[in-house]
């Protein structure tokens, strides 16, 4: 159609009377201004709605700083969302801090006929604080928070990604103060609602990786059934190179001992189905040493504790490989797991006196 040709439209605009040109230009400018105002107004309305959703929890107050809408691609972004403990005195660090939350339609799932969403969380922080001051302590939160989070986005979340997160446990009142961190947390969860319409039973996938303290690392993989009513998943977890000296402030504050050297690995597999557990946890301690002779004169009680711990570890050590290890079964029901201390001690004795327990996953969870 000739009338839609851009060159023809430009020529007709040039030939139009001056008053008509001004009217057209003014109309276009007015339309642009109207769309900008509409977007700003919509962002303000959504921000008000978000903060209203985040309010009303019994012990915590949520707040978001700003909202940006991307209507053309079915997305919006929340900036600087925090969850702060309600306290009459000095407020501790935010329990949860999300510098950026990005919600959008998952277009890939839409191609499979599923209208679901995805969430990207940039640089989130979770602060767990232990303290004798109840106003300062924040170790748990009510289940209301999970329901509030779901209300921030009207669609079911099929894909979840966490980029460069941090989990911190601290006790500023202990002696010495404790500050433990898991950093560089990367999480990717896909097909969490079976948006891909997969026929595989455990079609949902979650991969987790992070740095623990300064030198250790953790990685985990979860296969899950996204449509099961009861929890139905298979988990593997590997924790490598946890240095005991890096835990010394924690050990001193909570156990009254510290370590000269030693490190720990841990491996676990767990299958959960129909409310039942089947799996194991395998911790391996390498080259542990706790006793310091200088503590005998300065800190006799600490020296006594460390001597007892060292004697127990020495008895259960495989001296050929300088390791203490066991394999703890994870069995029973989700609500009431079975704890078998005889199996735990038997695993320690087996590693020490019969067969060295090798690091790595056993691949035995059913």
Tokens of 296: 């005998």
Spatial contact of 166 and 183, defined as CB atoms under 8 Å apart: yes
Tokens of 52: 């209203």
Angle (CA) 328-331-334 rounded to 5° is: 125
193 pLDDT higher than 80: yes
Mean pLDDT, range 8-21, rounded to an integer: 54
Closest among 322, 202, 181, 201 to 262, alpha carbons compared? 322
Query: Residue 145 — very low, low, confident or very high, per pLDDT cuts 50/70/90?
Result: confident
| Contacts (Cβ under 8 Å, ≥6 apart) of 97 | 80, 81, 82, 83, 124, 125, 127
Establish how many alpha carbons lie within 13 A of residue 347's alpha carbon, considering only the half-sphere containing its beta carbon: 17
| Contacts (Cβ under 8 Å, ≥6 apart) of 58 | 142, 144
| Contacts (Cβ under 8 Å, ≥6 apart) of 196 | 109, 112, 114, 203
**Range of 52-61, 172-181, 188-197 with top mean pLDDT:** 172-181
Q: Which ranges of 160-283 does DSSP label H, i.e. alpha helix?
A: 248-255
pLDDT at 25: 56
Instruction: Record the pTM.
Output: 0.83
Mean pLDDT, range 302-310, rounded to an integer: 88
pLDDT at 70: 80
How far is Cα 361 from Cα 132, in angstroms, rounded to an integer? 39
């Amino acid at each position: 159609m000739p009338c839609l040709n851009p060159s023809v439209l430009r020529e007709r605009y040039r030939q139009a009377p001056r008053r008509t040109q001004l009217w057209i230009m003014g109309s276009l400018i007015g339309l642009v201004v109207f769309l900008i105002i509409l977007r700003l107004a919509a962002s303000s309305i959504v921000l008000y709605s978000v903060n209203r959703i985040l309010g009303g929890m019994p012990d915590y107050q949520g707040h978001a700083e700003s909202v940006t809408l991307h209507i053309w691609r079915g997305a919006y972004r929340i900036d600087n969302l925090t969850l702060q403990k309600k306290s009459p005195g000095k407020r501790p660090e935010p329990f949860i801090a999300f510098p950026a939350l990005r919600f959008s339609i998952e277009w890939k799932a839409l191609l499979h006929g599923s209208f679901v969403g995805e969430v990207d969380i940039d640089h989130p922080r979770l602060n767990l604080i232990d303290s004798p001051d109840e106003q300062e302590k924040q170790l748990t939160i009510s289940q209301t928070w999970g329901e509030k989070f779901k209300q921030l986005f009207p669609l079911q979340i099929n894909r979840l990604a966490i980029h460069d997160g941090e989990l911190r446990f601290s006790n500023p009142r202990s002696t010495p103060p404790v500050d433990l961190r898991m950093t560089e947390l990367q999480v990717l969860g896909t097909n969490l609602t079976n948006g891909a319409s997969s026929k595989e039973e455990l079609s949902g996938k979650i991969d987790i990786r992070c740095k623990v303290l300064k030198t250790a690392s953790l990685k985990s993989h979860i296969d899950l059934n996204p449509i099961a009513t009861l929890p139905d998943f298979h988990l593997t977890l590997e924790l490598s190179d946890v240095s005991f000296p890096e835990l010394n402030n924690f050990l001193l504050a909570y156990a009254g001992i510290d370590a000269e050297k030693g490190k720990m690995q841990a491996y676990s597999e767990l299958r959960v189905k129909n409310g039942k557990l089947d799996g194991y946890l395998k911790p391996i301690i390498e080259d542990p040493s706790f006793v310091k002779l200088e503590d005998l004169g300065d800190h006799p009680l600490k020296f006594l504790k460390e001597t007892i711990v060292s004697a127990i570890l020495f008895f259960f050590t495989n001296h050929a490989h300088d390791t203490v290890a066991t394999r703890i079964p994870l069995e029973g029901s989700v609500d009431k797991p079975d704890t078998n201390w005889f199996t735990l001690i038997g695993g320690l004795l087996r590693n020490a006196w019969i067969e060295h327990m090798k690091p790595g996953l056993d691949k035995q969870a059913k």
